[in-house]
Copies of this chain bind each other. A is one copy, B any other.
Amino acid sequence: MTSPDLPANPPTLHDVAREAGVSLATASRSLNGSARTVREPYREKVLAAAARLGYTPNLSAQAVAKGSTMTVALLVADIADPYFSSIAAGVIRAADDVGLVVTMAATERDTRRELELVRAMRGQRPRVLILAGSRVEGDENELALRAELEAFQSTGGRVTLISQNTLPFETVLLDNFEGARALAASLVELGYRRFAAISGVASLRTARDRLTGFRAGLADHGIDLSDDDVAVTAFTRDGGYAGAEQLIPRITDFDLVFAVNDVMAVGAMSALRDAGIAPGVEVGVAGYDDIPTVRDVTPALTTVRIPLEEVGARALALAMGTGEQSAPIATEVILRASTPRRG
């Protein structure tokens, strides 16, 4: 009389215990092979029963009982952006290695939303909360965010930031300043002299560090980069496109355009081409990050490599207390066809 496949409930530990003819406690102990031992006649029975029933422990129940979960929460600005998806891949891989599962959400570069997401994620009682994505200084939600993170921390949670050493939490530090400085040095060595840049707003820490680092590198060689030669736009491909458009009227004044990240550089190259200017030939282009795409664009893009997956892995290690705190991530200048040696 019963409907053939009405949604039965998943087997519980109780079912396993009954099936095996033992108590709940014995069943539990047999399955998570923990502290106390279970003697052989029993243990085997439980394992068999569990297999027979296709038992999978309810992680929520486990979390309630043990008072802690096995999850890490990851917040990124934009999942489809290769910068973040590479980092996410690193986090997920590392998490997986230690038996943690990661839940992910996208802030869409909106700090209001980021705050909401942190609140929502806290409901999961994750062991770790990782925030990636450039933070704006002096944002109206900064205080609330900080308070939320501190509350999380004070209840035993670990929080790790990626790159954005804006907030007082453990951070995977990318030395954006030094990376950009080294890039500038390499470019000068190649013969470039007249520079322009495309950057994000100065309150964006990452953008600012890269720009000032680049400036410092130029200054080391007595070259100046005036504010007039810096286009300020959004931190996206389309931002890079728009930034290049601003520079194009005076493009003959420059022999190199530095975009503070690769997606912007790619957008800039596109704008240049659309304006009939050959990137890498009439004007050099350089970016930052070394996302996978940039070795496949033409000309291949000169950039500063960040080992993105490693950054993700490191973020988790840091939170778990596994990683060496201080060791900064090593970056490396990668010279490609977009910056040929110049006369």
Q: Which residues of chain A have a CB within 8 Å of any CB of chain B? A: 5, 7-10, 54, 56-61, 63-64, 67, 69, 71, 78-80, 82, 85-86, 88-89, 92-93, 96, 101-106, 119-125, 151, 154-156, 237, 266, 269-270, 273, 292-293, 295-298, 309
Given A64-B58, A297-B297, verify A89-B93 contact (CB < 8 Å): no
Cβ–Cβ contact B103 & A101, under 8 A = yes
Tell me whether B59 and A125 are in contact (CB under 8 A): yes
- Of all chain B residues, the one with the shortest Cβ separation from A101 is B103
Chain B's nearest CB lies how many Å from the CB of A220?
32
Task: Determine how many copies of this chain the complex contains.
Answer: 2
Contacts of A86 on B, CB cut-off 8 Å? 80
State whether A79 touches B69 (Cβ < 8 A): no
Interface pair B155/A125, CB less than 8 Å apart: no
**Residues of chain B within 8 A of A270, CB atoms compared:** 295-296
* Given A7-B154, A54-B151, A298-B298, 14 new contacts (CB under 8 A): A7-B156, A8-B154, A60-B61, A60-B69, A79-B88, A82-B85, A89-B106, A96-B106, A101-B120, A101-B121, A101-B124, A102-B104, A237-B296, A270-B296
Query: How far apart are A270's CB and chain B's nearest CB, in angstroms?
Result: 6
Pick 26 A–B contacts, CB within 8 A, sort by A. Answer: A8-B156, A9-B155, A10-B122, A56-B123, A59-B60, A59-B123, A60-B61, A60-B63, A60-B124, A61-B64, A64-B64, A78-B89, A80-B82, A80-B86, A80-B89, A82-B85, A85-B85, A88-B104, A92-B104, A92-B106, A101-B121, A102-B103, A237-B292, A237-B296, A270-B295, A293-B296
